[in-house]
Amino acid sequence: MHCRIRVKGHLDLCWQQSLEELHIMQDANGTSLLSGCLKDQAALYGVLLKIRSLNLSLLALETSEEPYEDAASPYV
């Protein structure tokens, strides 16, 4: 499953391995985009629990069976 998650604030890149290896991109608008592949919904729920435990505000979540053309797209 391909996934893009946008959270409020800049998430430090050191969290990348703790978030199921999702790639973290810090945007100039003060948000972070987590993007990449997750093996299943259980992995997605694990990432969402980590976001909650870090007290981050979830702004958007998008999943797809097909890869996104542009992981850095401001769409999410």
pTM of the model: 0.81
Amino acid at the residue 59: L
Looking at the chain, the whole-number percentage of residues with pLDDT higher than 70 is: 87
Using alpha carbons, select from 20, 10, 7 the residue that is nearest to residue 46. 20
Distance CA 29, CA 44 (A): 25
Distance CA 30, CA 34 (A): 13
Distance CA 33, CA 26 (A): 6
Per domain, the residue ranges of the chain are 2-64
Average pLDDT over residues 29-48: 94
7-33 pLDDT tens trace = 999 998 888 888 877 999 999 999 999
Pick the CATH number of 2-64 from 2.60.40, 3.40.1350, 1.10.287, 3.30.70: 3.30.70
Q: For the chain, what's the residue count?
A: 76
